[in-house]
Chain A
Amino acid sequence: MAKFRLDRYKPLLALGLFFAVWWIGKPLVQSFLQISFTEFQAPSWVATSHLDGLAGFWARRSHSKVELIEAGKELERENARYQIMRQRYRTLEDELSRLEAMLEMPGRREFRHEIARVIRREQSAWWGRIIVRKGRNYDIRVGAAVVFAGGVVGRVTEVHAYTSEIDLITSPDFRIAAQFEDDPRPVIYQGLPQDGFAKPHGEVRDVPQDLLASSSQPIKLVTTSLGGTFPAGLSIGTVDWLQPGSSGIFQSGAVQLDPRLLQLREVAILVPLEAGTHSHVF
C-alpha cells in the first residue's frame, strides 16, 4: 500500500493557516500591513517624480535663449493679467463680505488651496485615480475636494505621510450632488468607466423634466455646496443631451468633462479652513 505523504499537501495546509491568521487578525494585521507596505513604496514614486522633474529641467535647458526670452515675455504678460485679476478678486471679496455682514448671512466655508504635483495616474474601466506628492505633511485630509483650471478633479480618498490618493471624477466610484448653472435644483453626477480613445465623460441623473439640453445649447453642470465637500459653482462639465431616466420621473444624460483631466500634472487640493480664517486664491 502506498504511503500517505502529508508533505504533498503542505502548500494547502500553509494556505489554510495563512487564511485563518488573516481572518482572525483581520483589522490589526491588515491595517498594519497595508500602511507599512504603502508607506514603504511611496518614496520610489516620489523619487520617480523628482527624476521626471530633473529630466524636464535638462530638456528645458536645451532650449535656445531666444525661446526662453519669448517664454519669459509671455509669462510677464500673464503675470500682469493675473495681478489685475487679483485686484478685482479682492475688491469683489470685500464687497461680498460687506454685503454678507449687512444681511447677517452665515459665514461661507473657506478653503486653503494646496497645489500638488501628480506623480501617478491610473485610468481604466475598473478605477480612476491619481496620486499626488503631498500628504499628511501638508495637512491634507480625507474627503478634501480637488480642482484644477478646468473644474473638479475629484476627491481625496487616502492620505499617507508624503502622498495622497485622489478618486477622479471619471471613476465609477465617484458621485456628488450637483446643479445646473442658473438652476438651483440638485441633481446627481456619477462617474462612469471611460472608453479608450474617447473624451472623458460621466453621467447626470435625477434631472427635472422641464430642463432641456441640445448640442447647440449645452447646459453647464456645476458643483453645489449641498454635499459640503465642494464650494458651489465649480465646473464639472457640459450636458448636451438629456433623455427620460429609468424611473420616468427624472431625466438623465451624458456629461462631457474637460479633456485635460486625463493628462493632469498639477492639481489644487481644497483644505477646509477653520471658521473665521479667509482663503487666498491669489
Chain B
Amino acid sequence: MYFDPRSLLFFGANALLLHCMLMLGSALSPWSIFPVLIGPMLIFPVLYMRHSAYFLCALCTGLWVDAALPVPFGLLTGLFLITGAITFMLRNRFRAEENDHPCLLAHILNLMVIILLAAISSGKTQHLFDFWIQTALCAVASHLLLLAIAPWFFNLQRLLLEMLHLDTKPEDLPHL
C-alpha cells in the first residue's frame, strides 16, 4: 500500500489547529463563546493526496477531534468522511495552489460542523431563543476568526511541505 508522508504532516497540523482552537475556547469561556475552527482541517488532505492517504488522514483527524469534544464518538469522523468523499469526487474543480477555493471549502465545512453540533447538542434546549442566539454568535465569531486563520493555516501547511521537501503539488490539477 502506498503511504504518503504528507498525511502525517497534515494530521500533525490538524492536531495543532485543534489544540489552538481549544485553548482559544478556554480563554473565551467566560463569554460563553466556543470558536469552531474545524473547517480547514479536511481541505488539504482531500485536495492534495490520493484516496488511501486522504482517507487515513481524515479518519485519524476525525477521531482526534471526536475524542477532544463532548460529542457522540464518531460523529465528526462520519461528517469528515462524508464531506471528504464528496469533495474528493469533485476535487479537480478546485484550485489548491491558491487560497480562494480552500478557504471557501473550509467555511462551508465549518458551517456544517456548527449546524451539526447545534442539532445534536441537548435536544431539550433547542426550543430556547437564547440557544439559537448563542449558536449564531458562536458561528459568527468562528467564521470571522476563520477569515484570518484559514489562509494562515493553509500557508503553514504549504510551508511545512516545502521545508520537509515533500511534494507541494496536488495529485489532480483542476480542469481549465
Chain B positions 13 through 28: 1 when the CB is less than 8 Å from some CB of chain A, otherwise 0: 0010001001101100
Give residues of chain A (14-43) contacting chain B, Cβ–Cβ below 8 Å. 14-15, 18-19, 22, 30, 33-34, 37-38, 40-41
B108 within 8 A of A: no
Q: Pick the contact of B29: A121, A173, A193 (CB < 8 A).
A: A121
Tell which of B67-75, B143-151, B153-161 binds the partner: B67-75
B94 within 8 A of A: no
Tell which of B2-10, B95-103, B126-134 binds the partner: B126-134
In whole angstroms, how far apart are the Cα atoms of A195 and B131 in the complex? 8
Nearest chain B CB to A19 CB, angstrom units? 7
In whole angstroms, how far apart are the Cα atoms of A127 and B36 in the complex? 13
Decide if A33 touches B29 in the complex (CB within 8 Å).
Answer: no
Nearest chain A CB to B16 CB, angstrom units? 10
Chain B positions 49 through 79: 1 when the CB is less than 8 Å from some CB of chain A, otherwise 0: 0010001000100011011101001100010
Residues of B within 8 A of A124 (CB): 25, 32-34, 134, 138
Q: Pick the contact of B134: A12, A40, A194 (CB < 8 A).
A: A194
B166 within 8 A of A: no
- Among the interface residues A22, A195, A263, which one has the most CB atoms of the partner chain B within 10 A? A195
Q: Pick the contact of B73: A19, A34, A127, A196 (CB < 8 A).
A: A34
Residues of B within 8 A of A232 (CB): none
Decide if B85 touches A41 in the complex (CB within 8 Å).
Answer: no
Give residues of chain B (96-143) contacting chain A, Cβ–Cβ below 8 Å. 117-118, 121-122, 124-125, 128, 130-131, 133-135, 137-138
A216 within 8 A of B: no
Decide if B125 touches A193 in the complex (CB within 8 Å).
Answer: yes
Residues of B within 8 A of A197 (CB): 31
Decide if B137 touches A196 in the complex (CB within 8 Å).
Answer: yes
Q: Pick the contact of A41: B67, B74, B88, B125 (CB < 8 A).
A: B67
Give residues of chain A (168-206) contacting chain B, Cβ–Cβ below 8 Å. 172-173, 192-198
Residues of A within 8 A of B22 (CB): 120, 122
A125 within 8 A of B: yes
| Chain B interface extent, by class | 35 or more
Nearest chain A CB to B144 CB, angstrom units? 14
Residues of B within 8 A of A125 (CB): 32, 118, 121, 125, 130-131, 134-135, 138
Residues of A within 8 A of B63 (CB): 33, 37
Decide if B82 touches A15 in the complex (CB within 8 Å).
Answer: yes
A-B pairs under 8 A by CB, number: 119
Chain A positions 122 through 133: 1 when the CB is less than 8 Å from some CB of chain B, otherwise 0: 111111010000
Decide if B131 touches A193 in the complex (CB within 8 Å).
Answer: yes
Decide if B73 touches A30 in the complex (CB within 8 Å).
Answer: yes
A268 within 8 A of B: no
Residues of B within 8 A of A121 (CB): 25-26, 29
A48 within 8 A of B: yes
Identify the closest chain A residue to B141 (Cβ).
A196
Residues of A within 8 A of B130 (CB): 125, 192-193, 195
A56 within 8 A of B: no
A3 within 8 A of B: no
Nearest chain A CB to B71 CB, angstrom units? 8
Residues of A within 8 A of B67 (CB): 33-34, 37-38, 40-41
- Among the interface residues A18, A126, A173, which one has the most CB atoms of the partner chain B within 10 A? A126
Decide if A195 touches B51 in the complex (CB within 8 Å).
Answer: no
Residues of B within 8 A of A126 (CB): 34, 117-118, 121-122, 135
In whole angstroms, how far apart are the Cα atoms of A172 and B82 in the complex? 29
Nearest chain B CB to A266 CB, angstrom units? 15
Residues of B within 8 A of A46 (CB): none
Chain A positions 39 through 66: 1 when the CB is less than 8 Å from some CB of chain B, otherwise 0: 0110010001000000000000000000
Q: Can you offer 16 A-B residue contacts whose CB atoms are under 8 A?
A: A34-B66, A38-B68, A121-B25, A123-B34, A124-B33, A124-B34, A125-B32, A125-B131, A125-B138, A126-B122, A192-B125, A193-B122, A194-B134, A195-B32, A196-B33, A196-B137
9 closest A-B pairs by beta carbon, nearest first, are: A124-B34, A125-B134, A37-B67, A126-B121, A11-B85, A172-B122, A121-B29, A194-B32, A123-B29
Which A residues form the contact surface with B (CB < 8 A)? 8, 10-12, 14-15, 18-19, 22, 30, 33-34, 37-38, 40-41, 44, 48, 120-127, 129, 165, 172-173, 192-198, 262-263
